[in-house]
Amino acid sequence: MNIRRLLTTSDPNAVEELYAEASRIRDEVYGRRVFMRGLIEISNHCKNNCLYCGIRRDAPRLTRYRLTKEQILECCRTGHALGFRTFVLQGGEDGWFTDEVMCDIVAAIRKAHPDCAITLSLGERGRDSFRRLREAGADRYLLRHETADADHYAHLHPKEMSFEHRMQCLHDLRELGYQVGCGFMVGSPGQTLDTLQKDLDFIRDFRPEMVGIGPFIPASGTPFEESPAGSVEATLRLLAIIRIIHPHVLLPATSALGTMHPTGRERAIAAGANVVMPNLSPQDTRALYSIYNNKLATGSEAAESANDIRARMKAIGFEVPTDRGDFAG
């Protein structure tokens, strides 16, 4: 497969064929089903200063929040009643959530919802921390690698962050028995066809259970606030390519795509994606989890966003099972 050609062609038939092939492979592996994950944004505090991110340490005028254990459990209860069987606890790298605090929360969710998968997305931690969280009951971990090119990584991150440590985390997570997710932004500043080729090679070699990709969207108050957004079209093509090179991958139609285009998530499903992640966070904190501008569905209730997503998926002919939706590898 010539990735450069697929990403640059202006032949609409070639693009349609690409989407159809990816969709066919997804159907073969998972059927015409889309899995739901309930996203709970537990904190927008972050010790890191990633140049693209709207909740970076130096983000000006951002009201910081963190959810309590009780609030998180309440989000899970609501989600469970709505048919969610995976909860994704996502947050900035917030030192308040020590291993002790986080293990207590994970264990409480595990106890209250033994039929659910618990996914963490809390950035880089040490191997021992990952081990303790795994023992407390976490099943999966999402940590986008952001780019598989070390120079590009350095362009997107402050010097105290290292590409090697990020990759080390992904390998540690894998060894500890997590289902692991990596991923990257499409159209991030400095991205080229060469760096994308490395991302795809990394995915092909590492074979992560999940891959999260979405367009880069500039965030106000960040060094990249004036940089152009990534393209929806390129994101869709990359979703299709990832499905084709790694047929079993769990591939979300991300909110960043839904933010950039009114039917972005439907188009992602048509290009081979098979996961959606409606927001279960409390209504009053959603707008504060502003990793990029105009983030989707800041106001709606959990029930509303879940029902909206279900209806949208049904309308394009997909079932949304009440199921953990584990990797079918």
* Contact footprint for ligand 5AD (CB under 6 A): 52-53, 144, 146, 185, 214, 216-217, 219, 256, 291-292
Q: Please give the full DSSP string across 15-26, using - where no structure is assigned.
A: HHHHHHHHHHHH
Least spacing, CB of residue 160 vs ligand 5AD, in Å: 17
Output 200 or 320, the one with its CB closest to ligand 5AD: 200
Of 5 and 165, nearer to ligand 5AD (C-beta) is 165
Rounded to the nearest whole angstrom, what is the least distance from the CB of residue 28 to ligand 5AD in the complex? 29
The least distance separating ligand 5AD from the CB of residue 314, rounded to whole angstroms, comes to 28
At 281, list the tokens: 């966070």
CB of residue 242 to ligand 5AD, shortest distance in Å = 15
Coil, helix or strand at residue 323 = coil
Sequential DSSP letters for 251-267: -B--HHHHHHSTTHHHH
d(CA 291, CA 158): 17
Cβ distance to ligand 5AD smaller for residue 233 or 323: 233
Longest dimension (CA), the chain: 54
Distance CA 121, CA 135 (A): 16
Question: By C-beta, is 9 or 206 nearer to ligand 5AD?
Answer: 206
Nearer to ligand 5AD, 291 or 320 (CB): 291
Evaluate whether 123 touches 94 at the Cβ level (below 8 Å).
Answer: no
Min CB(64)–ligand 5AD separation in Å: 16
**Which residues, in sequence order, are CB contacts of 270 under 8 Å at separation 6+?**
19, 23, 316
Least Å from the CB of residue 107 to ligand 5AD = 24
Q: Residues of 164-184 as b/e, b for ≥16 C-beta within 10 angstroms?
A: eebbebbebbbebebbbbbbb
Give min distance, CB of 7 to ligand 5AD, in A: 19
The DSSP code for 300 is -
Q: How far is the CB of 199 from ligand 5AD (least distance, A)?
A: 12
Q: Which is nearer to ligand 5AD, 94 or 146 (CB)?
A: 146
Nearer to ligand 5AD, 185 or 242 (CB): 185
159 Cβ neighbours under 8 A, 6+ residues apart: none
Are 146 and 177 spatial neighbours (Cβ–Cβ below 8 Å)?
no
Whose Cβ is closer to ligand 5AD: residue 200's or residue 256's?
Answer: 256
CB-based contacts of 291, cutoff 8 Å, min separation 6: 53, 54, 55, 219
Identify the H or E element spanning 115. Answer: none
How far apart are alpha carbons 16 and 270 in whole angstroms? 10
